[in-house]
Amino acid sequence: MKFRFSMVNRLYFGFGILIVAFVVSSVLTFTNLQANKKANEQISEIYAPSISYLNELISLVNNSKMLIKNWVFIERQSETPDKISLKNIHSKQYPQVIVKLSELKEHWSVDDIELFDKIEKTLSDTLFVLQTQIMEQLNTLESYEDQEVVLEVSPMVEKNGEIIVFSNDVIEDITELKTSINECYDEINARNIENVNNFQRTVVIMGIVLVALSLFIFYLISRVTVRPVLKLREFLLQMARGILPDEHLKVSDDEIGDISQALNQFVDNMKRTSSFALEIGNENFGAEYNALSEDDILGNSLITMRQNLKTASEQEQKRKQEDEIRNWTTKGLAEFGDILRQSTNIESLSYDVLEKAIEILGAIQGALYILEDNDEDDVHFRMTAAIAYGRKKLASRRVEIEEGLVGRCAFEQAPVYLKEVPQDYVRITSGLGDTNPSVILLVPLKANETIYGVIEIVSFNQFEEYQINFLEQVSENIAGTLATVKINEKTARLLEESQQKGEELASQEEEMRQNMEELQATQEESARRELEMREILEAINNSVGNIEFDLFGVIQNVNERYAQFLGLKEEDLIGREHRNLLKLTHKQDMLYREMWEGFTSGSSVEMDLCYPTSYGDVWLRETYTPLKDASGEYKKVLSLSVDISDNKTKDRAIHAYRRELDEQGENLKNIIDQLNTHKSESELRENELLKESEATEEENRVQIESMKLLIEDLEEKIRKLTAGKS
């Protein structure tokens, strides 16, 4: 293949040189940094701690030398601070320092290790042994009185005594070891400083080289790029004016040449697009055309015009398919809904649901597992239904909670869909027989984030996504029904057990004691329910008046709200006869008596009653309910009251207004009758006056006309009042 020195290759070449230089610089930098890091780690983790612990060891030897002399010549009492300090050096401080130095000596030179081993041997086997002997011989006040013992140990701690000599020798050895380690420390530190200086020089040199290379590469790339770009600019300006040049650009062997070739091709394609547009204009929709690119607005628009009818048909087909899936799903949900509503036990429900699922999904086999969690110590799945090739199979398999695909599906609470099932995988893992299907689908029966079981479907055909979604949706309904059926069965089972236990309790006192725990749990539940009822009653007491009567209408108990209605205190009402608090009409009194007589038969009554109070009448709407005692007899009456005084006030105002309208209408009728009588008299008087004198005829006529107008005006007012009343 011929090498092409394109712009990309030029850029690769130029920037490759820069990258190589940068990599070399980075490697040198990394090498120096690693060397410095290693040296710093040696200083901070090995030599500095070693020197520190050696100084501490020297201090311990000096202290022990001083303290052992005090032990012999000064301190005679037991457990003095100096004696405790010396014991602490022997038992704690010295072993700790030796352990630390033993860990660090692995990084020392061979000579230093041998010297340290010598020091440790001298301290452990000689010096501290001698000190220990003295400490043991002079461990009591009486031992100091023993001159033989004192004369034996005193020379050991004097100027040229064994302990003093060994201590000085050990200190010299430790000092020598510390000096050797200090030399290593200084050597590494000096080497570290030299590396830093070399690193600084390297950074400066590499920086100068990188800048020089960058400037040189920039010059070369600019030189081979600018001129062709100017030619392209002129060509593009012609195209911007709508001109498609006949002359082609010169194509070079680089990216600029690729651009030139692309522009030449673009001009040719634009000419072809124009021809295609003419064909479309001539209604030749079968003309072939390929868009210049995905962003070719004109070409793609023309192609889109040609494809509209085809696209519309495809969309219609897709909508039809979606409608079929939607109808299929709706029908399937309805069929499952009928099954779930009609099922009353888990066994029949399992087979009905599994059979319908296999039928709808077009599967060949299936199984349904129910979670058995009645026993917390033995939670497992039980196969309650199995169907293969349309025939029911014996369902008796037990699956542990974390076993196989069933356990995985339940644990993940998500469908498990296997498209590649190995040989005998279904038989071994799922227990559906020896058939080897193509796919296996397991869906958890989940409701409210609780697993009630797993349904397993296998088929020779792949399941579509909508089928899987349908089974997931149905599984929630199945889980809800399973929960209800299990609760019902559990309730029936508990009821049966309760009845059986009740019979056993009647004959066996010992079994009664064994069931006391269950009774106590029931009592706790009753107490909880009683607390809930008390909270509900408290809420009712805060919003509704509440009174308790005996069967004779005497108030036994009353809440604060009822007392507020009447403007009284609770203690003022208790013990009073309810009827004495009311303002009753004769009719209301009869109804009130009938109401109390009916309470013995358990009838509930609602009445509106008026209570005269210091601030006016108060109307309460009261609901009376008789209550039974433990023996089943009605012993008291409960009344709940609501203040309806405002409604009664409005009703009275309306009735008063209507009575006033009725009275005004009656008065107007009387006035009209009087006017009619007066009219008759006026007509008689008119005749008489006509006979008496013609001079007064005109005057009488005017009076009569005035009276007529007055009557008409009154009649009009009566009609208006009548209309207002209605």
pLDDT at residue 429, as a whole number: 42
pLDDT at residue 653, as a whole number: 65
8 A C-beta contact, residue 130 and residue 162: yes
pLDDT at residue 721, as a whole number: 57
Tokens matching residue 222: 């600019």
Taking the C-alpha atoms of residue 508 and residue 51, their distance in angstroms, rounded to an integer, is: 86
Q: By percentage, how much of the chain surpasses pLDDT 70?
A: 77
To the nearest whole number, what is the mean pLDDT of the chain? Answer: 77
With a cut of 50, say whether residue 543 has pLDDT above it: yes
With a cut of 70, say whether residue 703 has pLDDT above it: no
Dump pLDDT digits (tens) for 91-125: 888 888 888 888 888 878 888 888 888 888 888 88
Architecture (CATH level 2) of domain 7-205: Up-down Bundle (1.20)
In this prediction, residue 312 has a pLDDT band, given cuts at 50, 70 and 90, of: low
Nearest to 599 by CA among 551, 549, 546: 551
Give the least confident one: 194-208, 232-246, 285-299, 537-551. 285-299
* 164 Cβ contact list (under 8 Å, min separation 6): 65, 157, 158
With a cut of 70, say whether residue 594 has pLDDT above it: yes
Average pLDDT over residues 401-423: 82
8 A C-beta contact, residue 421 and residue 439: yes
Domain boundaries, the chain: 7-205, 343-493, 535-643, 653-725
Dump pLDDT digits (tens) for 149-182: 777 778 777 777 888 888 888 888 888 888 888 8
Class of residue 71 by CB neighbours under 10 A (exposed 0-12, middle 13-18, buried 19+):
buried
Taking the C-alpha atoms of residue 424 and residue 435, their distance in angstroms, rounded to an integer, is: 7
Torsion over CA of 330, 331, 332 and 337, rounded to 10 degrees? 90
8 A C-beta contact, residue 439 and residue 419: yes
Tokens matching residue 277: 């547009």
Average pLDDT over residues 218-241: 72
Q: Greater confidence, 588 or 292? A: 588
Tell me how many degrees the CA angle 300-306-308 measures, rounded to the nearest 5.
Answer: 95
pLDDT at residue 124, as a whole number: 81
Average pLDDT over residues 574-601: 84
Residue type, 523: Q
DSSP string, 48-108: HHHHHHHHHHHHHHHHHHHHHHHHHHT--STT-HHHHHHHHIIIIIHHHHHHHHHHHGGGS
Q: Greater confidence, 282 or 627? A: 627
DSSP string, 345-396: SHHHHHHHHHHHHHHHHT-SEEEEEEEE-SSTTS-EEEEEEEEETTEEE---
Phi, psi of 554 (to 5 degrees): -90, 130
Dump pLDDT digits (tens) for 638-657: 888 888 877 777 766 666 65
Average pLDDT over residues 203-223: 75
DSSP 601: G
Taking the C-alpha atoms of residue 625 and residue 463, their distance in angstroms, rounded to an integer, is: 62
With a cut of 50, say whether residue 1 has pLDDT above it: no
Determine the topology of domain 343-493 in CATH: Beta-Lactamase (3.30.450)
pLDDT at residue 275, as a whole number: 74
Determine the topology of domain 535-643 in CATH: Beta-Lactamase (3.30.450)
Give the number of other CB atoms < 10 A from CB of residue 226. 9
pLDDT at residue 98, as a whole number: 85
Would residue 389 be called left, alpha or beta, if left means φ above 0 and alpha means ψ between -120 and 50 degrees?
A: left
Class of residue 476 by CB neighbours under 10 A (exposed 0-12, middle 13-18, buried 19+):
middle
DSSP 138: T
Taking the C-alpha atoms of residue 355 and residue 8, their distance in angstroms, rounded to an integer, is: 67
Two domains, one topology: 7-205 and 535-643: no
With a cut of 80, say whether residue 547 has pLDDT above it: yes
Taking the C-alpha atoms of residue 459 and residue 439, their distance in angstroms, rounded to an integer, is: 6
Measured over the CA atoms of residue 201, residue 207, residue 210 and residue 213, the dihedral's sign is: negative
In angstroms, the Cα distances linking 15 to 9, 220, 254, 329, 677 are 10, 12, 17, 62, 129
* pTM reported for the whole predicted model: 0.33
Q: Rounded to a whole number, what is the distance in angstroms from the first to the last CA of the chain?
A: 110
In terms of residues, how long is the chain? 726
616-628 vs 634-643, strand pairing mode = antiparallel
With a cut of 50, say whether residue 438 has pLDDT above it: yes
With a cut of 60, say whether residue 699 has pLDDT above it: no
Give the number of other CB atoms < 10 A from CB of residue 390. 10
* 202 Cβ contact list (under 8 Å, min separation 6): 25, 28, 29, 32
Taking the C-alpha atoms of residue 442 and residue 429, their distance in angstroms, rounded to an integer, is: 12
Taking the C-alpha atoms of residue 470 and residue 472, their distance in angstroms, rounded to an integer, is: 5
Dump pLDDT digits (tens) for 43-78: 777 778 888 888 888 888 888 888 877 777 776 677
pLDDT at residue 674, as a whole number: 67
Dump pLDDT digits (tens) for 597-607: 888 788 888 88
In this prediction, residue 427 has a pLDDT band, given cuts at 50, 70 and 90, of: low
With a cut of 70, say whether residue 90 has pLDDT above it: yes
Pinpoint the alpha helices (H) of 224-296: 226-240, 255-281
Average pLDDT over residues 494-522: 73
Dump pLDDT digits (tens) for 321-344: 888 888 888 888 888 888 878 777
pLDDT at residue 700, as a whole number: 53
DSSP 46: I
Taking the C-alpha atoms of residue 112 and residue 177, their distance in angstroms, rounded to an integer, is: 6
With a cut of 70, say whether residue 380 has pLDDT above it: yes
* CA-atom Rg of the chain in angstroms: 57
Residue type, 501: K
Taking the C-alpha atoms of residue 97 and residue 504, their distance in angstroms, rounded to an integer, is: 78
In this prediction, residue 428 has a pLDDT band, given cuts at 50, 70 and 90, of: very low
Dump pLDDT digits (tens) for 603-622: 888 888 888 888 888 888 88
* 53 Cβ contact list (under 8 Å, min separation 6): 97, 100, 101, 104
pLDDT at residue 506, as a whole number: 66
Taking the C-alpha atoms of residue 362 and residue 364, their distance in angstroms, rounded to an integer, is: 7
With a cut of 50, say whether residue 225 has pLDDT above it: yes
CA 511 from chain centre, in angstroms, equals 47
Tokens matching residue 291: 């868009």
Would residue 641 be called left, alpha or beta, if left means φ above 0 and alpha means ψ between -120 and 50 degrees?
A: beta
